[in-house]
Amino acid sequence: MALRDSPFENLKVPLGWAAALALVAAVAAAVVLLVLDRGDEGPRGANDAVRGGFETAAAPVGGVFAAPVRWLGQLSDHIDDYFFAVSENRRLREELARLRAEQDAVVALRNLNARYEAMLGVRVEPDVPLLTARSVSEARGPFRRSRLIDVGSSRGVEVGNPVINEHGLIGRVVGTSGSVSRVLLVTDVASQIPVLVGRTDARAIMRGDGSGNPRLEFVRGADALEVGDRILSSGDGGGVPRGLPIGVAARGIDGTWRVKLFSDRGAIDFVRVMLFEDFSQLANGQTLDAPPLAALDTAPPPTPQVVAQIDDAAGRRRAEEERRRLAEQERREREAADARAREAAAARAREEAAAQATPEPAAPQPDGAEE
């Protein structure tokens, strides 16, 4: 039977009284539990049973009342996480921007260090003093190709010094001041460098025309040049050392021979100036002017074994020379005998021919026969 159909349907209990009674009952239950939990007073089994029954009955009610509290706690955690995530995201963005700037700086320093190592690893043959410099500006035009570098005459740079990078020749110094020098690139129209073909050793002149690939002119020799041949400096004229790498030969669209420059493989920002004047600086003049056997007085005396080997070699050489002399003398005597035999045979032949050509005189006839 439903409550609305029971005799208590019209029973109305004031809300305040109901709340007061519930509060009193709760306080009373709490007091009873405190009294029962005072210690060892009273029967232990009875207390446990009462407390267990109360906890069993109050557990669902406590779970119901605790659920909103948990929900509120979780909601508060979510709100805190949201605002913390916003601030954390902002902090991480700032740190990421800072790290990206540091990464860019590290990459730039790594590339710069790699260029420094490549420049320091450049070795030329013959051994010419090198001076590292940096390109500070560039002058470009329809036919003009030059650069300024941050070293000058105060560091020993002179007009005509070759300039290279880690890949090959890029030009020559055409002007200097105390701290700055001007480099004329090989692509400038005023640049003319004697070169050679590495495969055939053929000579040519590499002339700049303002483009990125200089022309090869006055190539000597038939079939002396093929596509892909290495082009090196020839050293002719003494302005540039022999053997500096320049590029490879290629055919231009106009059919002329051109050079693909090795220096175009990287940026021309760091260069090395070769303090090269002429080939006289590559050797000691006193050493060249010394007599050929000037150093024999300083050599130690030969050992008996070496003396024996020298004497044996000298005896063999003299015997071989004597054998060749006798063979040559015998050959000459044989040729002379053959020549004399040929001359004698020729003389006999001439005598026989002369005898046959002379007519025999007629025999005298008797007198009676004439009548």
Q: For the residues of 2-52, what is the DSSP string, one character each? A: -GGGSGGGG----HHHHHHHHHHHHHHHHHHHHHHTSSS-S-HHHHHHHHH
Q: Tens of pLDDT along the chain (371 residues)?
A: 444 555 545 545 455 666 677 777 777 776 666 665 555 454 555 556 656 665 666 566 555 556 666 676 676 666 766 667 777 788 888 888 888 888 887 777 777 666 666 656 555 556 778 888 888 888 777 767 889 998 999 988 999 899 988 888 999 999 999 889 999 999 999 999 999 998 888 999 999 988 889 999 988 777 888 999 999 998 888 888 888 899 999 998 888 999 999 988 877 888 889 888 776 666 565 665 656 555 555 667 778 888 888 889 888 999 999 999 999 999 999 999 999 888 888 888 888 887 777 665 655 555 555 44
Q: Specify the pLDDT at position 293.
A: 52
Reported as a single tens digit per residue, the pLDDT across 88-147 is 788 888 888 888 888 887 777 777 666 666 656 555 556 778 888 888 888 777 767 889
Helix and strand totals (H; E) in the chain: 5, 12
Please list, in sequence order, all residues whose beta carbon lies within 8 angstroms of the beta carbon of residue 160, skipping any fewer than 6 positions away. Answer: 172, 173, 239, 277
Bridge-partner residues for 249, per DSSP? 259
Q: At 249, which helix (H) or strand (E)?
A: strand 245-251
Two tokens, residue 311: 């004497």
What SS3 class is residue 257?
strand
Residue 241: phi and psi, rounded to 5, are -60, 155
Reported as a single tens digit per residue, the pLDDT across 330-370 is 999 999 999 988 888 888 888 888 777 766 565 555 555 54
CA–centroid distance for 189 within its chain: 29
Start-end of H helices in the chain: 15-36, 44-120, 285-289, 304-357, 367-370
Neighbours of 115 (CB within 10 A): 16
Q: Specify the pLDDT at position 1.
A: 47
Q: Specify the pLDDT at position 62.
A: 58
Q: Which of 46, 43, 42, 66 is nearest to 54 (CA)?
A: 46
Q: How far apart are the first and last CA of the chain?
A: 214
Quote the CA–CA distance of 246 and 214 in Å, as a whole number: 10
- Residue 243 in contact with residue 233, Cβ under 8 Å? yes
Which amino acid would we find at residue 152?
G
Two tokens, residue 346: 């020729």
Quote the CA–CA distance of 338 and 355 in Å, as a whole number: 26
Half-sphere exposure of 312 (CA within 13 A, CB side): 6
Quote the CA–CA distance of 231 and 186 in Å, as a whole number: 13
